[in-house]
Structure 1
Amino acid sequence: MAASIAVRRRETGGEGKDAVAEIAGWASVVVTVMAGVSLADLAARLAGSGYGWVIVSFGLLITLSVSLLRRQTSVSWTAAHSVLALTFALGALMTDWIASAPGHGGLGFGPGPTGAALAVLVIALLTPLSANDTRAGLRLW
């Protein structure tokens, strides 16, 4: 995070957001991920019925939330991060389901192969998007 901020500030000559605002933005994303993963763990423990129903429930919550947000003319930071937390929770649940042993309700691929496959999938999905983006000055950080 610090390296990303330093590189951007060097490239832009210090223009744009100040460092405190950028750190707060990054911190809010990290906390949103933490909240989503914690929510996923809690939901999976409380459900006690395997990953299937919990994954479907989070998918429905995300769909409902997004459809409600799309009706608004502007979306607050809190509302957007709430949907992100649900999305991270869904991702954590699906990853746990793929990686966990069959005896624990999962598919049994293990954390290493699951993480490697997901990393390849992220690169495969993002590479064409970044190659086709014609907006000037697009930065991922």
Structure 2
Amino acid sequence: METIEQKHTNKTMNPQIENMLKKVPEVTIFFWITKLLTTGMGEVFSDYIVKTLTPVIGVAVALIVLILSLILQFKVRKYVPSIYWLVVVMISVFGTVAADVVHVGLGVPYVASTLFFAVLLAIIFAVWYRKEKTLSIHSIYTKRREVLYWSVVMGTFALGTATGDMTASTMHLGYFSSGILFTVLLAIPVIGKKFFKLNEIFSFWFAYIMTRPVGASFSDWSSVSQKHGGLGFGGGPVSLVLSIIIIILVAYLSISKKDVMKVSDNEESHSTIA
């Protein structure tokens, strides 16, 4: 039986109103740049606050800020760049902590945690598709779809973190080589969509997952000491630089509206790889 909200969105909503209610940005080059920066910043900043504030306090602070940012995101009635990207940053931070807790706190090997998060993410995708018959991020204009969307985002960050740690540590590739590996994998959906007509929604989510280990690997490589194969800049300075760049980008997007979805006559438009 349809709810009042479902009847409204499925039967009576015109494209312009539907567009106004969408809570996610348009997928442009700015989206991918900001996403990569947030993954890198979340990785090094989570490690930094855990070491600075102790693990328990660090996890508690990250969780509290994440919850508050999600409350803000669910309360607003349209896409607000500052709030949306704050949620992404905090999911990046907490996703790193979650993956580390599974490995360090519970002693689960990176291979096992990677498989666990992969299965968990697949289940969330399956539930989303079964309920909504679409996985397009351009269809996020109901509360249920928004909950499913952010659940998937959390899953992608946890999976990407575990995968990056697995290649860097378990497979002994190191951070830089891991970054190169995942950059190559990130190119697959771009090339596949452009030249081989790979499904757009699959391409988007594959790329979305890959941005996490790409950003995290290169940020770790920049922050860790030369003894551990890095550049030795430190977690604090790297986090600060990435945060400043993210703030500048989000401010630009807030003013320019470059990532606001345009009104479309298609009720279920597909996401794209910029």
- Structure 2 length-normalised TM: 0.43
| Secondary structure of 2:76 counterpart | helix
1:6-85 matched pairs, under 5 angstroms: 6-8=75-77, 17-71=141-195, 72=197, 74-76=199-201, 78-85=202-209
Pair 1:5-2:93 in alignment: no
Q: Distance in 1 between matches of 2:252 and 2:193?
A: 28
Equivalent residue letter for 1:101: S
| Secondary structure of 1:8 counterpart | coil
Q: Distance in 2 between matches of 1:137 and 1:58?
A: 29
Show structure 1 runs of 5+ residues with no match.
10-15
Q: Distance in 2 between matches of 1:59 and 1:128?
A: 26
Equivalent residue letter for 2:148: A
Change (3 A) 1:136 1:67: closer
In angstroms, what is the RMSD of aligned CA positions? 2.5
Deviation of residue 100 (structure 1)? 0.8
Show structure 2 runs of 5+ residues with no match.
1-69, 79-139, 263-274
Name which of 198, 212, 220 aligns with 1:88. Answer: 212
Q: Distance in 2 between matches of 1:45 and 1:38?
A: 10
Equivalent residue letter for 2:163: L
Equivalent residue letter for 2:183: G
Equivalent residue letter for 1:7: V
Structure 2 equivalent of residue 12 of structure 1? none
Q: Relative to structure 2, which stretch is displaced further, 49-58 or 111-120?
A: 49-58
Deviation of residue 135 (structure 1)? 7.7
Equivalent residue letter for 2:74: I
Equivalent residue letter for 2:153: V
Identical columns (%): 25
Pair 1:116-2:240 in alignment: yes
Moved >4 Å (runs of 4+):
134-138
Deviation of residue 104 (structure 1)? 0.9
Deviations 1:59-97 (A, max 9, x none): 111112211023427512x44222111111100101111
Q: Distance in 1 between matches of 2:256 and 2:237?
A: 29
Structure 1 equivalent of residue 3 of structure 2? none
Q: Distance in 1 between matches of 2:76 and 2:151?
A: 18
Change (3 A) 1:112 1:70: same
Deviation of residue 37 (structure 1)? 1.3
Pair 1:106-2:223 in alignment: no
Q: Is the 8 A contact 1:47 1:54 kept in 2?
A: no
Equivalent residue letter for 1:83: A
| Corresponding residue pairs, total | 131
| Secondary structure of 1:107 counterpart | coil
Change (3 A) 1:27 1:45: same
